[in-house]
Amino acid sequence: MGRQKSKRNTRNIRNIINIRNIRNTRNKKSRKIKIKIEKYKEDAKNGNVDAQYNLGRRFEKGEGVKKNIKEAVRLLDLASDQGNARAQNRLGVILDKGDGVKKNKKEAARLFRLSAKQGNICAQYNLAIMLAKGDCVKKNIKEAARLYRLAAKKGDTDAQVNLGVMFDNGNGVKRSYKKAAKLYRLAAKKGDATAKYNLGLMFEYGKGVKRNYKKALKFYRFSAKKGVSRAQHRLGIMYENGHGVTQSKKEAKRLFRLAEKTLRKNSTHKTKTKRGDATLFKLNEPINSLFNNIISLQNLSLSGDLEKIKVVEALRF
């Protein structure tokens, strides 16, 4: 009994020490953030463009300061006027969404253009979305494709998928299933579920690649696990027909029910994707394409800091 009590006391003491250490770490972190914010404020007043941008983002997200969209817009506007590409893109996203401020898509498009000219990937993506949709700008599919190419060459996954869809459909570019498959592969290597689903279709139908049911199944399974309803449905069809897998009506029905459930769930939620300081907006809406199944450009939205608009609905922050 004495030994057990001693062990319990030792554990309690360790727990107390651990709690204190955690609190001390948090307090130190909090003090560092406060010091950093004060530095941002001082530098921002003196016209430092990076400080204006960073402080604006803090106010936008409510990190270390009370969330204040109007103050965020004021600071981002100051940085934008000085030519900061990230601030131009971020401010464009805020104005496009009208989150906490009056929506102004025309001004958003102007800011995206300024940022895109400086090579900002998210701005190139966001502007491409607006041009592809004709959203408060004159519709220009070819220019949208050009911007996607720029972003895709820099390794932007969403741009690779959207450009792949354009080649798949012959929309704004000459139709090329091989180029579409190549772009899907690039995005799929980074784990993009949309790209893997589209690539699965290419292998199932033998478009741009040699028909291979096993590979199609592999890509469908990955996307299905990630919640892509069309992948769940296509996987069900594969089981129903026994393509590349032992035929199973029972498994097919299960997958069809899962796809229906996922579709209903997704219809009430928008898809957002963020990537570090570069947030993107993706479109997970299907469009009439090669097999009426390819996930492609429709109902696009914008993205923010490294923010984009993609073939799967969303904006980049």
C-alpha distance from residue 226 to each of 131, 195, 219, 222, 231 (Å): 29, 12, 11, 7, 9
pLDDT of 31? 74
Q: Are residues 145 and 290 in the same domain?
A: yes
Q: Are residues 24 and 74 in the same domain?
A: yes
Question: Pick the residue with more confidence: 273 or 301?
Answer: 301
Q: Is the pLDDT of residue 301 over 60?
A: no
**What is the pTM for the complete model shown?**
0.77
Q: Is the pLDDT of residue 271 over 70?
A: no
pLDDT (tens digit, 9 = 90+) per residue, 61-70? 999 999 999 9
Domain boundary among 67, 93, 119: 119
Q: Are residues 71 and 202 in the same domain?
A: no
Domain boundary among 104, 119, 134: 119
- The overall average pLDDT reported for the chain is 83
Q: Are residues 79 and 186 in the same domain?
A: no
Q: Are residues 168 and 35 in the same domain?
A: no
Q: Are residues 37 and 98 in the same domain?
A: yes
Q: Are residues 205 and 311 in the same domain?
A: yes
pLDDT (tens digit, 9 = 90+) per residue, 172-187? 999 999 999 999 999 9
pLDDT (tens digit, 9 = 90+) per residue, 10-32? 676 776 666 666 666 556 666 77
Specify the number of domains making up the chain. Answer: 2
Q: Are residues 191 and 257 in the same domain?
A: yes
Q: Are residues 89 and 220 in the same domain?
A: no
Q: Which residue range forms the structural domain that includes residue 14? A: 1-119
Q: Are residues 255 and 311 in the same domain?
A: yes
Domain boundary among 84, 119, 154: 119
Q: Are residues 174 and 30 in the same domain?
A: no
pLDDT of 268? 60
Q: Are residues 125 and 190 in the same domain?
A: yes
Q: Which CATH number is 134's domain given?
A: 1.25.40.10
Per the CB < 8 A criterion, the answer to whether 27 and 16 are in contact is no
